[in-house]
Amino acid sequence: MASTSPPILPLDQSLHDVSVEIGRVPLRFPARVPWLIAFLFSLGLLLLFVVSVTWLLTWGVGVWGLNIPVNWAFAIHLYVWWLGLGHAGTLISAMLLLMGQDWRNSLNRFAEAMTLCAVVCAGIYPIIHLGRPWFFYWMFPYPATMGVWPQFRSPLEWDIWAVLTYLAVSLLFWYIGLIPDLATVRDRARKRGWQVFFGIFALGWRGSAHHWARWQKAYRTTAAIAVPLVVSVHSEVSLLFASGQIPGWHSTIFPPYFVLGAAFSGFAMVAMIALVVRHFFGLKEIVTDRHMDVLAKVLLASGLMTAYGYVFEVFDAFYSGDGREIATTYDRFFGLYAWSYWGAILFNFVPLQGLWFRKVRRSPVLLFMIGTSVVIGMWLERYMILVTSLYKDFLVSSFGEYHTTFWDWGTYLGTIGLFFVPFLLFIRYIPSISIFEDKEVLAREKREAGRG
Amino acid sequence: MADAPVLGLLGEFGTADALLDAAKRARAEGYEKLDAFSPYPVEGMAETLAIGDQRIGWLAVIGGATGIAATLLLQDFVNRDYPLDAGGRPLIALPAFFVVDFEIMILFAVTFAIIGMLWMNRLPRLHHPLFGTPRFSLASDDRFFLYIAADDAKFDAEDTRGFLGALGAWTIEAVRA
């Protein structure tokens, strides 16, 4: 890192302080009461999810508001939204690792955990949307007695492989990055139960130079592969839309537009989680104001790129001269669901402009509010893309409205529980910030300061 | 356990630079069977100890090639075994196949690299004689250790201990089986 920039971690702490500060979180948990409240609340939402899915399995997808013509509705809208939230974890972790951006070392671990939980929520949606979810294994190529095979030319088949690969790679990347820290916590644990728990999952890591050399190679290789993976996964999601002829979807701008929007919403989510984690765990020396400042700048940049996508989508529609494309654009501006279009613009891009100012970027409250606004804005955007295109397409006979039902919302709020229950368990029981990578940064900064 | 055979000597250092310096001098002295233990990867240590393992990169390449080849073969086979004519579109449609080909290529490349890394590192191995050494648990905290194996040609219980002391090791411990 350029030595001109001020150190991102305070230099008055030692390597040992880093072990203590982060390692104490799982071993002597600092925020029991807020954690317990959040956990019980999340468990409640998870229960709602179980009830909603049971209801769905009992009565079929008709309990949701989807129908012809709006037959994708909440299920695919939220699939895209959740998956997008997850992408920032991989981008922060992998892309910034390869670019040598030290500041990612305080954020990557829980960002990756966020990815994992979000991918689970995303992946569940296409499955419960299947109509007969208990046959989801028909998507795997196995020698069935019926003599049929899955159809690899179909986007549904693209979906399952993209999501499964993404889940598996995220899990492996997260886990091998975690092994050295599990060893640190194992060596600091004093209770037998913890020693055994961390001892097993640390796989007997010793920090040998031979191991580190191979580990670094594998870690960086995985990171280098994970970046194109993220781009491919969300491009694949956008192709589900773009490969159909529906006006408002059938456009080549979709893959980059979707990938950027995904990164945008994900960075907002990472900023929010970082603020909450450091507040409740007292980790201000590890996740500093400068970290939040840089993260806010990235959020602003990805937001502006997403805004460019909006501009180009409109330009594209008019430039095509296609009557239906233009009509769909008018429907977005003035139609029945215009609130979702203008809502997306308002929530995504208006509060975002505050991030041009350093004071706003460094204010936890304002940054958290802007992050919330972006997550809501992207929710509206995914809804808008789906519903405004589907409710009116080529023929008047296939015009129709879409209204959500209680079970749409029950399932959606339930997935929030599905996200937070494993995530809260993670921040409770596993070092949620990378110990060894922060030591690496601290050691380098100290050396530079010493030369200084 | 005091009578168990000595596997090697472990010298403790306070900083990464001290460890790197000690490793360089041990190499210059002619020691071959060295290892270093640190809480984070020390820059330059792999070069000093002449660890040049290129196999993991190649494993990723082999994994990726295997993944994409296997998927293409599978897609070709299932479409011929159960041909489904969708509006006269080609059965073997590479552009439509490619999304899944790419994903599985990545899945295999990553899995090969990571499983290969664990396998070459002989992990998981939950117990190791080093863990029996009292101060070794600090290797995951803020201490740095240089290990000289007893089966090194130049190893001599007394001389090597003296050598580690001359390198500036804070403590020197024998690792026993």
State the Cα–Cα distance between residues A299 and A302, nearest whole angstrom.
5
Is A451 inside a domain boundary? no
State the Cα–Cα distance between residues A35 and A33, nearest whole angstrom.
5
Burial B63-87 (b: 16+ CB within 10 A, else e): bbeebbeebbebbeebbeeeeeeee
pTM of the model: 0.92
Tens-of-pLDDT digits for all 177 residues of chain B?
Answer: 457 888 999 999 998 999 999 999 999 988 888 999 999 999 888 888 888 788 999 999 999 999 999 999 999 999 999 998 888 989 999 999 999 999 999 999 999 999 999 999 998 998 899 998 889 989 888 899 999 999 888 888 888 999 999 998 899 988 888
pLDDT at A4: 47
Domain range for A323 is 15-139+150-446
Same domain, B92 and B66: yes
Measured over the CA atoms of residue B42, residue B45, residue B51 and residue B53, the dihedral's sign is positive
pLDDT (mean) for A293-320? 94
C-beta of residue A183 within 8 angstroms of C-beta of residue A211: no
State the Cα–Cα distance between residues B145 and B171, nearest whole angstrom.
10
**Tens digits of per-residue pLDDT, A321-361?**
999 999 999 999 999 999 999 999 999 999 999 999 999 99
Looking at beta carbons, which residues of chain A come within 8 Å of B49? 209-210
Same domain, B42 and B85: no
Same domain, B48 and B131: yes
Q: How far is A215 from chain B (nearest CA, A)?
A: 6
Q: Write down the mean pLDDT value for chain A.
A: 91
**Tens digits of per-residue pLDDT, A245-287?**
888 998 888 999 999 999 999 999 999 999 998 888 888 888 8
Is A434 inside a domain boundary? yes
Half-sphere exposure of B145 (CA within 13 A, CB side): 28
pLDDT at A440: 86
State the Cα–Cα distance between residues B3 and B26, nearest whole angstrom.
27
Q: What percent of chain A has pLDDT over 70?
A: 98
State the Cα–Cα distance between residues A382 and A122, nearest whole angstrom.
13
pLDDT at B24: 93
- A236 vs B103: CB contact, 8 Å cut-off? yes
Radius of gyration of chain A (CA): 23
Q: How far is A148 from chain B (nearest CA, A)?
A: 6
Mutate to test the interface with B, among A22, A190, A210 (most CBs of B within 10 A): A210
Q: How far is A189 from chain B (nearest CA, A)?
A: 11
Same domain, B59 and B99: yes
Same domain, B69 and B115: yes
- A211 vs B121: CB contact, 8 Å cut-off? yes
- B140 vs A173: CB contact, 8 Å cut-off? no
Same domain, B24 and B63: no
- A211 vs B123: CB contact, 8 Å cut-off? yes
Is A144 inside a domain boundary? no
Residue of A nearest to B23 (CA): A209
Q: How far is B32 from chain A (nearest CA, A)?
A: 13
Mutate to test the interface with B, among A222, A235, A434 (most CBs of B within 10 A): A222
Is B1 inside a domain boundary? no
Looking at beta carbons, which residues of chain A come within 8 Å of B46? 209, 212-213
Number of domains in chain A: 1
Same domain, B139 and B166: yes
Number of domains in chain B: 2
pLDDT at A1: 40
pLDDT at A304: 96
- A187 vs B141: CB contact, 8 Å cut-off? yes
Same domain, B111 and B136: no
Judged by a CB distance cut-off of 8 A, whether residue B111 touches chain A is yes
Judged by a CB distance cut-off of 8 A, whether residue A424 touches chain B is no
Same domain, B61 and B111: yes
Judged by a CB distance cut-off of 8 A, whether residue A245 touches chain B is no
State the Cα–Cα distance between residues A352 and A116, nearest whole angstrom.
26
Looking at beta carbons, which residues of chain A come within 8 Å of B60? 221, 225
Q: Which of B81, B100, B120 is the last residue of a domain?
A: B120
- B140 vs A184: CB contact, 8 Å cut-off? yes
Looking at beta carbons, which residues of chain A come within 8 Å of B114? 172, 176, 218, 222
pLDDT at A107: 87
In this complex, the residue of A187, A216, A225 whose CB is nearest that of residue B41 is: A216
Judged by a CB distance cut-off of 8 A, whether residue B70 touches chain A is no
Same domain, B61 and B104: yes
In this complex, the residue of A19, A149, A436 whose CB is nearest that of residue B78 is: A149
Q: Over 80: is that where the pLDDT of A450 sits?
A: no
- pLDDT class of A189 with cuts at 50, 70, 90: confident
Looking at beta carbons, which residues of chain B come within 8 Å of A237? none
Residue of A nearest to B15 (CA): A443
Is A244 inside a domain boundary? yes
Domain range for B73 is 55-120
**Tens digits of per-residue pLDDT, A130-146?**
889 999 999 999 998 98
Judged by a CB distance cut-off of 8 A, whether residue A285 touches chain B is no
Q: Is A131 exposed, middle or buried (0-12, 13-18, 19+ CB in 10 A)?
A: exposed
pLDDT at A3: 41
Judged by a CB distance cut-off of 8 A, whether residue B84 touches chain A is yes
- A151 vs B110: CB contact, 8 Å cut-off? no
Is B163 inside a domain boundary? yes
- 3 state DSSP class of B128: coil
User: Given the DSSP bridges, would you call strands B34-37 and B144-149 parallel, antiparallel or unpaired?
Assistant: antiparallel
In this complex, the residue of B41, B74, B142 whose CB is nearest that of residue A212 is: B41
Same domain, B63 and B116: yes
Q: Over 90: is that where the pLDDT of A167 sits?
A: yes
pLDDT at A410: 96
- pLDDT class of A6 with cuts at 50, 70, 90: low
Q: What is the CATH number of the domain that holds A29?
A: 1.20.1630.10
Residue A213 amino acid letter: A
Judged by a CB distance cut-off of 8 A, whether residue B107 touches chain A is yes
Is B136 inside a domain boundary? yes
Same domain, B59 and B103: yes
A329: enclosing H helix or E strand: helix A323-334
Judged by a CB distance cut-off of 8 A, whether residue B20 touches chain A is no
ipTM above 0.90, yes or no: yes
Left if phi > 0, otherwise alpha if psi is -120 to 50, otherwise beta: which for A239? Answer: alpha
State the Cα–Cα distance between residues A361 and A368, nearest whole angstrom.
10
State the Cα–Cα distance between residues A290 and A140, nearest whole angstrom.
47
- pLDDT class of A83 with cuts at 50, 70, 90: very high
Judged by a CB distance cut-off of 8 A, whether residue A138 touches chain B is no
Looking at beta carbons, which residues of chain B come within 8 Å of A162? 99, 103
